[in-house]
Structure 1
Amino acid sequence: MKTTTLGPSGIRCSAIGLGTWAMGGWMWGGGDNAGATLAIQASLDAGVTLIDTAPAYGLGRSERLVGTALKGRRHEAVIATKCGLVWHTHKGTHFFEEDGHPVYRYLGRDAIAYEVEQSLANLQTDYIDLYITHWQDATTPVAETMGALLDLKKQGKIRAIGVSNVDAATLAEYLRHGPVDAAQERYSLIDREIEATLVPLCKEHGVAVMGYSSLALGLLAGPIDPARAFTGDDQRASNPRFSADNRARLAAFFADLEPLRAALGCSFSEMMIAWTLEHGAVSLSLCGARNRQQAIQNAAAGSVALGADALLQIDTAAKRHLGALG
């Protein structure tokens, strides 16, 4: 397994991280607690040490699953969780509804102090390795938010500070008030905007870039059966990227890359995850899994070596087939 460092913190972790959004069930058509627990444990067994979660993933469900799965193995994991999406207060800006609860973007000192205690309890731990502001809050000065996070660090409740879903100007403001160890942003073969916006600033300041949705919600995991239906509250049911036309484009893309996949001896999902790591924009790739098999396959990408020729083949095929995905 490739490893990386979380910015100035010096914390070492696997270059592939387990994302647990889908384990919370919300927006993913429900969840399977037993399957999620096995996925977390299988990830650790396969060398994936970074486990990424958040309170908003199922209103605490994902964090509780992580806490249960890590019993007796907490020392093996680097836990990342988040703050800033709250439902215990109506302060800040309304963002969405989750299971009948209005959720707000709010990063005030009072909320952060409350949230960290909830997360510590859910995770059954007395410290969080990386604490990330989940979505940014225009109603609270960054100085207040960063001050609260630095205080938590002094108290030993968190080891490192991260930000997510942030633009370069806001990250620069965070950096004015203290060290930022990681920035977590969407990044995949078809989501590359941060290469020109956020990545240069992160590299200048030694901030680790954590790419989430490395498989684009499963779109890049391999050919999708044209007959597959996404049901319930699964967000992919209404996502235009999963249209019939796009599934046909994806089928052609993967057909183009089949000789390369066979030569590498890996799956398409492993190839796409390896692409995110070798392309150079991110230092860590977050990959979701809902069961043991998915977790093992994601982890296997950590030993796939592509090289310049393979990267060029993948980029060329993407330009040929995936430019219209949007």
Structure 2
Amino acid sequence: MKQREIAGQNVAEIGLGCMNLSHAYGHPLSEADAAKVIDAALDAGVRHFDSAALYGLGSNEILLGKLLKPHRKNIFLASKCGMTGVDGKRVIDGRPKTLRSTLEQSLQNLQTDVLDLYYLHRWDKSVPIEDSVGELSRLVDEGKIKAIGLSEVSSQTLQKAHAVHPIAAVQTEYSLWTRNPEIAVLEMCRKLGSAFVAFSPLARGYLSGQVTDKNALVDGDIRKGMPRFQPEHLQKNLALLAELKLISEAQQCTMAQVSLAWLLHQGPHIHLIPGTTQISHLRDNVGASDIRLTSTQLAKLRQVFHPKHISGPRYPSATQLEIDTEEF
């Protein structure tokens, strides 16, 4: 794969979001099956692996610690703090003391002495962003993390944080059906020299064309509670896929590959971390690095998936209150 810079390192432009292995989309993979996915990712040239203290309430980091330890010198390893599981419940806590203790546990779980990139998973709005980032900067000074990232923040919050310590990356949902970063933060990342890491670049499977019925989702799948996957919204959104399908046929590739390629065309500072539990999908995703879309195709997709055409908000109202991103 082609490489792009993030946190002072050049890594393949498509990485692996590892949440799916342990969290959020139904039943976690067994360690043996997860090992097959990780091995396939490494074989395909993936070097950027993304986890978080929240995923599987720590089990995702523990899993990756076992599977990636033999490859640690050759990979780019990222995790997140500020949103963890406490007594089985998700808690947002950006206090410096909490961030430090979370990092210490993450290093132990991931079986490493230092993380290449460490994100504040959510800005705890009860704690000034300067205080949270200030503690992360001390962890950089101590050599426990190499770079600081933020997740789901506005351009204004990014600027405040960057004034305390350089922010190496911002991770936010970005895809054809979630274009919010285009309001301001994508450009602010470019101006500040921060990488932009797109999570859910396939819109949680929607852009692959394989998620057509909420009722087909297994118990424990977070999409069951997301507005855009409710029948009244999903049917409207599915109608938008017709043009994506036509372009994929013209390119002789999959709809997922076109969707990922479109994102890569939006700027050289953009990295993608699609998640998957299936090796065939992983290889398909990585193949998007070779897709070149025409200017006409890029413009057509931008028009078809204009935010005004997308039905439903991306998060339930309670979750929406927890994030800081600009919204259409």
TM-score by length of 1: 0.88
| Aligned-partner SS, 2:38 | helix
Structure 2 residue ranges without an equivalent (≥5): 314-328
- The residue number in structure 2 matching 1:109 is 96
> Which digits, 9 at most, give the CA deviation of each residue in 1:79-109, with x for residues without a partner?
1101111346xxxxxxxxxxx5233222222
- For residues 251 and 164 of structure 1, the distance between their equivalents in structure 2, rounded to whole angstroms, comes to 28
- The residue number in structure 1 matching 2:287 is 300
| Aligned-partner SS, 1:82 | strand
| Aligned-partner SS, 2:305 | helix
Residue identity in the other structure for 2:47:
T
Residue identity in the other structure for 1:59:
L
Residue identity in the other structure for 1:83:
C
| Aligned-partner SS, 1:273 | helix
Per mean C-alpha deviation after superposition, the further-off stretch among 304-313 and 158-167 is 304-313
State the Cα distance separating 1:282 from its structure 2 match.
5.6
Asked if 1:122 corresponds to 2:113, the answer is: no
State the Cα distance separating 1:227 from its structure 2 match.
8.2
Match of 1:30 among 27, 30, 35: 27
Residue identity in the other structure for 1:137:
D
- The residue number in structure 2 matching 1:184 is 171
| Aligned-partner SS, 2:167 | coil
- For residues 56 and 320 of structure 1, the distance between their equivalents in structure 2, rounded to whole angstroms, comes to 30
- For residues 143 and 320 of structure 1, the distance between their equivalents in structure 2, rounded to whole angstroms, comes to 32
> Which digits, 9 at most, give the CA deviation of each residue in 1:83-140, with x for residues without a partner?
111346xxxxxxxxxxx52332222221122111111111111110000000001232
Mapped contact 1:39–1:294 kept (Cα < 8 A): no
Residue identity in the other structure for 1:79:
L
Asked if 1:2 corresponds to 2:31, the answer is: no
Residue identity in the other structure for 1:32:
L
- For residues 74 and 320 of structure 1, the distance between their equivalents in structure 2, rounded to whole angstroms, comes to 40
Per mean C-alpha deviation after superposition, the further-off stretch among 139-148 and 299-308 is 139-148
State the Cα distance separating 1:163 from its structure 2 match.
0.6
- The residue number in structure 2 matching 1:278 is 265
Gap change, CA 1:164 and 1:281, over 3 Å in 2: farther
In the TM superposition, 1:1-326 aligns within 5 A as 1-6=1-6, 9-25=7-23, 27-33=24-30, 34-87=32-85, 101-226=88-213, 229-244=216-231, 246-280=233-267, 283-319=270-306, 322-326=309-313
Mapped contact 1:276–1:282 kept (Cα < 8 A): no
Mapped contact 2:177–2:307 kept (Cα < 8 A): no
- For residues 227 and 238 of structure 1, the distance between their equivalents in structure 2, rounded to whole angstroms, comes to 9
Mapped contact 1:209–1:281 kept (Cα < 8 A): no
Residue identity in the other structure for 1:153:
V
How many residue pairs end up in the alignment? 312
| Aligned-partner SS, 2:46 | coil
| Same amino acid, percent of matched pairs | 31
| Aligned-partner SS, 2:122 | coil
State the Cα distance separating 1:46 from its structure 2 match.
0.9
State the Cα distance separating 1:259 from its structure 2 match.
3.5
Residue identity in the other structure for 1:264:
Q
Say what the alpha-carbon RMSD is for the aligned residues: 2.3
Residue identity in the other structure for 1:256:
E
> Which digits, 9 at most, give the CA deviation of each residue in 1:247-294, with x for residues without a partner?
544554333333321231211111111111112386111201113222
Structure 1 residue ranges without an equivalent (≥5): 89-99
Per mean C-alpha deviation after superposition, the further-off stretch among 194-203 and 50-59 is 194-203
- For residues 175 and 82 of structure 1, the distance between their equivalents in structure 2, rounded to whole angstroms, comes to 17
| Aligned-partner SS, 1:59 | helix
TM-score by length of 2: 0.87
Gap change, CA 1:193 and 1:64, over 3 Å in 2: same
> Which digits, 9 at most, give the CA deviation of each residue in 1:20-66, with x for residues without a partner?
122223x3212113332222221121112111110101101111121
| Aligned-partner SS, 1:288 | coil
